[in-house]
Structure 1
Amino acid sequence: MRVTFLGTSGAVPTTERNPTALLVEREGDRLLFDCGEGTQRQMMRFETGFDVGHIFVSHLHGDHVLGLAGLLQTWDFNERDRPLAVHAPAGTRSRVEQLIAPTGEQPSYPVRIHQVEAGETVLDREEYEVRAVDVEHRTTAVGYALIEDDRKGRFDREKAETELGLEPGPKYSKLHRGEPVEHEGRTIHPEEVVGPPRPGRTVVYTGDTRPTESVIDAADGADLLIHDGTFGDEHHDRAEKTAHSTAREAATVAREAGAKRLALTHLSTRYTGRGWQLEEQAEEVFDGRVFMADDGMRVEVPYPDSDREFTVEMLDRAG
């Protein structure tokens, strides 16, 4: 699973940071979370690909949605015919419709606007789901959790062959699917050669929010929590007033949730050039597992039982 940060700034862009957007790639699926101004250019710049079927909007503040019209229009120019689903908080349908067609023209391809509420499964796939998460902001808002299903246990081929005398073939597949097989007058049960289910991965994106118990619950054991970290300690009052979080508060949420990694995003322009200060404050609570997200940062999230490591790399920022 790969997460590319397309925009990591707070309410307004800077020369280094675009407004909020991030793209998650999973086994060929591309999912776009929020779509701030200039998102389509960031997708080109960091070569994420444009084959997106679902856009998940956390809330309708401009820095999270003003890129929608341009992106949808570009798809129109490129003769897209694949349907697009835009998921947004309940009660916002008419405003989303106005956002995606500011010229008064509707896209030539089907666009479905799906209004979502916290706790709802927004997207249900065979191997994963995307669930809306309750957050606390100063407007109607949700976060999103991408949760993979448990995977099949490992198949013990050596035991199947040497101890049970099973040759490779269809019986292997049946056992791995959880079905018993008959062999030489006896029944072989799946648990004899298949290990316990292996956990999938969980990535949680909060959008803009105060620290909440609902996010802690959603991020329980998450492989990556992407949390509002707009302010530093010195602007805690401002964070409360505007319904954002400080980096330290985000780290506390990650610690209480037992998350494996925390990405801070939505950095206020007050900290331009010194985001490392917020990272240091978060490190005091969630040591060694925090990073400040930057535009063009790509994160590889391995399976929990994989021998691969969690990696963070910066893509070419030229252009």
Structure 2
Amino acid sequence: MLLVTFLGTGGSLPTKNRNPSAIMVNRDGELIMFDCGEGAQQQMMRAKTGMMNLSSIFITHFHADHILGIPGLVQTMSFQGRTEPLTIYGPEWVEEFVKLLSALGYYKLKFEIRAAKMERGDVVRMDGYSVVALQTQHNVRSIGYALVEDPRPGRFDRKKAVELGVPVGPLFSKLHKGEDVEVDGRTIRSEDVVGESRPGRTIIYTGDTRPCKDVLEASENADLLIHDGTLADEKLEWAKEAMHSTAGEAAALARKAGVKKLVLTHISSRYSDDVTPLMNDAKAIFEDVIIAEDLMSIEVPFRDE
């Protein structure tokens, strides 16, 4: 399972329908977050994502609308008995942020919060996937992230394995994992019964940014691109000044990169009642696009082979 839940999809100002930026990713039960805006923990409760299995929070930048949910979240997890450490990744100033967070209020947390500074190209290895830092372009120091799964084993040819004399059972699993096995004194090679490796899935999350080279390159053939889509194209000059992207610009990047699906988020409050301008701008360039809504979830499937 690779499930993305949008806890907050609003721009700098929250609205009655949109919380500030926060995205939860559930990969086979492990939870990680990208940004954690105000009210994120209540959104987790509404979406029933859980929070105690949260291993990491990846911050794109330190504007308030991307971090103010963290103090309440960590205190709630501490009240609920969490003891496992939590790692907060982010660009420059993440160490100072964690120090301030740990000193906030009179309540002493029952678990450790670790800070990990990330710069362009840094890689965090997880169980079966990596998170890679991308250089983005905003009006403060910022980074985006690529979640890249490890390649999957190729398809196992059960019929051929039986023909080669491999008994049904544990040896099948060893062969599929890439191990050679012995059968009646003969070596059966994994490559004889397992096809070429298959790609894992890739999710790109930009945070707040102008369209940029790093995001474009990382998004090539990505399964899901979650891109800043703050403004409609008619507000292009405003987007440039504020260092955000328009819906059309994000769609153009998605098309050039050949992504499978585009989700626009960080939606300006001026579109609180009608996101049609954003959708029209994006759809004119890239067909498979969604405007993110709070509490919306998307399951990212493996590509057809």
TM-score (ref. length: structure 1):
0.91
Q: Which residue of 1 aligns with 2:75?
A: 73
* More divergent stretch after superposition (278-287 vs 177-186): 177-186
Partner of 2:154: 153
AA in 1 matched with 2:289 = V
Q: Find the counterpart in structure 2 of residue 61 from structure 1.
A: 63
Point out the more displaced range, 258-267 or 97-106: 97-106
1:251 Cα shift?
0.7
| 8 A contact 1:72–1:100 mirrored in 2 | no
**Is contact 1:68-1:100 (8 Å) kept?**
no
The CA deviation at 1:100 is 5.1
> How far apart are residue 80 of structure 1 and its match?
1.5
**How far does residue 250 in structure 1 lie from its aligned partner after superposition?**
0.5
Matched letter for residue 242 of structure 1: A
% same residue: 49
User: What is aligned with 1:312?
Assistant: none
Q: Map 1:261-276 to 2 at 5 A.
A: 261-276=261-276
Partner of 1:249: 249
Unaligned 5+ segments in structure 2 are none
Secondary structure of the corresponding residue to residue 33 of structure 2: strand
Distance in 2, Cα, partners of 1:170 & 1:19: 49
Q: Return the match for 2:95 from 93, 96, 117.
A: 93
Q: Which residue of 1 aligns with 2:227?
A: 227
Could you tell me how far 1:276 is from its partner in structure 2? 2.6
- Deviation by residue 1:185-226 (Cα, 9 ceiling, x = unmatched): 543322221111111000110000000010011111110000
What secondary structure is seen at the aligned counterpart in 1 of 2:36?
coil
Provide structure 1 residue ranges, at least 5 long, that are not aligned to the other structure. Answer: 307-319
Q: Which runs of 4+ in 1 moved over 6 A?
A: none
The one-letter amino acid paired with 2:295 is G
Please list, as runs of the form range in 1=range in 2, the aligned pairs for 1:107-126 lying within 5 A after superposition.
107-121=109-123, 123-126=124-127
**Corresponding residue for 2:22?**
21
TM-score normalised over the length of structure 2: 0.95
For residue 58 of structure 1, what is the amino acid of its counterpart?
A: T
RMSD after superposition: 1.5
Residue 293 of structure 2 aligns with an amino acid whose one-letter code is D
Out of 55-64 and 164-173, give the one that drifted further.
164-173
Aligned-partner residue type, residue 120 of structure 2: A
In structure 2, the partner of 1:317 is none
Q: Distance in 1 between matches of 2:110 and 2:181?
A: 52
Q: Deviations over 1:129-174 (max 9, x none)?
A: 111111000001111111000011111111211x323211333233
- 2:257 counterpart letter in structure 1: A
Shift of 1:106: 4.5
Aligned residue pairs total 303
Relative to 1, partners in 2 of residues 1:80 and 1:21: Cα closer, same or farther, differing over 3 Å? same
